[in-house]
Structure 1
Amino acid sequence: MMRPHYYTMDGSSMEFGSGLRPARDDIAHLLSLLRAGKRSTFILGPIPDGVKFIDYIRKGEKTRYLQCAGTSEAMTIEWHKVDDDDGQDRHYIVGHGGDHSGDPSVDIPFFEGTRTATVYPDEVFALDEATDIFFHYYETGEIPSGYELRWYDLTWPKPQP
């Protein structure tokens, strides 16, 4: 039996899997709702065994999830997980692998343009490929092989005295 999952779109969370359509179709539908001036973020993550959806969301300790921001035509995909090697929370940007010399140069606006993710060109995805990645993650808890992960440090710089 598949572990239960939740999803969050622009801050509103629901239990994933309506049962009205196959999971892959649900993912494709939800990602297709990402449009400029409308919805712009999507998170999919597993709910731990023995925990009810509402309790998990209220607790707020989400350490493993796949998320994206942007539109169905151009989005960034990021994977947050506990690293198997050292047990630390890590955040990765998913990409195809490419030239990462210099600073990232592609802006992906979200939240009606009030926020922007800046990534490398190989880290931009459209609906069909993003659906494949999210569905694979839903089934396995992993990113499909063939993609590269770029560690993204989420710690804020400490203010200088």
Structure 2
Amino acid sequence: MSDPTHISQKNSASRWPLIDNFRPYPEQIRYSLGRMDGSSFWAWSLWRAPEGADLLEDLPFNDEYMQCAGSAEALTIEVRHVDPDGTAHQYTIGKPGADVTGEPTEVIPWDEGRHSTTVYPHEVFNADEAAVVFYTYFLTDKVSQPYTLRELDMSWPKADPETETS
């Protein structure tokens, strides 16, 4: 057992320190992702706690994190990174060697179908594949090779392509 360094969150609500008391970290991450059913458990996030944080006292949020939504059979993974100047970037993670021409076509429903995300086919992961991505992030705070990143437009409100001019 080691001191927890990361916080995980279920469905944007319940937070707890990621611990290795019952199973090693890679297995704990895989276990959490494998429980996702798209209905009662549809989102999971992971981020590093601040250095020296007492996770028994407080579970602070971090502006940099990895998150996923969907079910153990089909989920999408995103990572958020903040530049030194404070500019935030959010990316969908994909597997290598894919064609990204055209619009995304794969719909990942979550929250009992109340929400969905549309991604490219290479951006759909199952729990086993996602566990590898999350564990590497746990170790390094980065998305490793050979995975790809597609930056998302997080501006709000979204521009209406019908009225947008060049």
TM-score, length-scaled by structure 1: 0.88
Q: Which amino acid aligns with 2:10?
A: M
Other-structure match for 1:94: 93
Other-structure match for 2:33: 31
Q: Give the direction of change, closer, same or farther, for the CA distance of 1:50–1:118 in structure 2 (3 Å limit).
A: same
Q: Give the direction of change, closer, same or farther, for the CA distance of 1:118–1:30 in structure 2 (3 Å limit).
A: same
Partner of 1:153, secondary structure, is coil
Q: What is the deviation of 1:38? A: 2.4
Q: Give the direction of change, closer, same or farther, for the CA distance of 1:103–1:2 in structure 2 (3 Å limit).
A: farther
Q: Which amino acid aligns with 2:5?
A: P
Q: Give the direction of change, closer, same or farther, for the CA distance of 1:158–1:72 in structure 2 (3 Å limit).
A: closer
Instruction: State the number of aligned residues.
Output: 156
Q: Distance in 2 between matches of 1:158 and 1:118?
A: 16
Q: Distance in 2 between matches of 1:40 and 1:148?
A: 23
Partner of 2:51, secondary structure, is coil
Q: What is the deviation of 1:81? A: 1.2
Contact 2:106 2:118 in 1 (8 A): yes
Gaps of 5+ in 2: 161-166
Q: Distance in 2 between matches of 1:127 and 1:144?
A: 17
Other-structure match for 1:9: 10
Q: Which amino acid aligns with 1:105?
A: T
Q: What is the deviation of 1:124? A: 0.3
TM-score, length-scaled by structure 2: 0.85
Q: What is the deviation of 1:65? A: 0.6
Other-structure match for 1:128: 128
Q: Which amino acid aligns with 1:6?
A: I
Does 2:110 match 1:110?
Answer: yes
Q: Distance in 2 between matches of 1:64 and 1:145?
A: 19
Q: Which amino acid aligns with 2:8?
A: Y
Q: Distance in 2 between matches of 1:71 and 1:102?
A: 25
Contact 1:2 1:139 in 2 (8 A): no
Q: After TM superposition, what 4+ stretches of structure 1 lie above 4 angstroms from structure 2?
A: none
Other-structure match for 2:48: 46
Q: Distance in 1 between matches of 2:59 and 2:94?
A: 29
Gaps of 5+ in 1: none
Q: Which amino acid aligns with 1:7?
A: S
Deviations along 1:29-53, one digit per CA (max 9) or x if unpaired, are 1001101322010000000113333
Contact 2:7 2:59 in 1 (8 A): no
Identity %: 34
